[in-house]
Structure 1
Amino acid sequence: MGRSYAIFDTGIGRCGIVWSGAGIVAVQLPEARELETRRRLFRLYPEAREQRPPLNVEMAIEGIVVQSRGGAGDLSEISLDMTGQSVFSQRIYEFVRTIPRGETRTYSEVASQMRRAGGEFSVAQALAKNPFMIIVPCHRVLEVGHYADKNSPFGGTISKRHLLSLEGTHPIASKTLFDVLLPVAPPRPHN
């Protein structure tokens, strides 16, 4: 069986999902217009054909829809087709799936869990290429300082901050010039 896809409505817009006989291949977060979402899917998976989703995919869609509306949709049992993903990326994706809803970790905390000292950049790179948006909740992994400004590479209109706010988590909005040039000094004790 080849790859197939479907477009579906969520609380954040029209998303796409691609699957194979082995599991979910990718989740496409919404672009500004459905046509752009379809174009991105076609560009990334030109062989995929629009089909009615089988049960595993229907369960994934249902969980994504629930989560996109602020609910606690369960995506833990959804099968993923990780063909073409590096072993390191697969390990990161599996770990990130265990981060509970409403909680976050930093890139360095994930690297530490992977026993990859100094591997923050490698973790960030793997998560930047995460094709399983929401199922592998990479929006729960933030920079040190818990900054969440970045948009998803697989959905140009949705930011990590927006996805986290749906879960009731409110990370720091953005780095300012002062954060970069004047790091916060620890408070001085009052005598």
Structure 2
Amino acid sequence: MTHLQSDHIEVYATQTAKNNNFLCGDSYFIHETEDYLICVLADGLGSGEFAYESAAAVTKVVEDNHQETVDCLMSLSNDVLQQKRGAAVAIFKADFKRQEFEYSCVGNIRFYLYTEDGKLTYPLPVTGYLSGRPQVYRTRRFAYETNCKFLLHSDGVQLLNVKSLLQNRSIHQIAYILEGESMQTNDDSTFIIGSLLK
């Protein structure tokens, strides 16, 4: 399990390959600078080598260009998937100074933001997947509160009651619940759980 912690954030992430395959068709990248946190989760279509290739291409292009806007990163992600199988892609970027974040998703990846007063925000993704073809993106901007939690996961993670999971638990506890109970062995599965501290 990956763990990042600083004055601004605490994040846990992990992934499991379908049927314990050598290659996972999901890929993620998390990076923090002095000014922002960037997270990308890509779920390559299907599983195995070609799903891995698509997902890894997305996370690499975001890693190389993480200073860009979310809209730009979605466009770059789409471009690198030409002649590849395609991928569902979600990108989350939190601006620490403004206390706001941008989020965009195409495909079957879920994102939740949970505040200390119990409000759950769930932006709907654009259906489909990125494949190099012309694509519409819906990038949304949200203010966030200190100590809010966020959860990003691929469709291999099965959750029944997200609000119940996120309330009254630390993200460390949530991460271990997710890892132990929600990761499916019959699909590639990845989650990123974090808290924006200030």
Using CA pairs under 8 Å that are at least 6 residues apart, name the structure with larger relative contact order, 1 or 2: 2
TM bin (shorter chain): under 0.3
Q: In proportion to residue count, which structure has more helix?
A: 1
Question: Normalising by the residue count of structure 1, what TM-score does the alignment of the two structures yield?
Answer: 0.28
User: Rg: which structure is higher?
Assistant: 1
More strand by share: 2
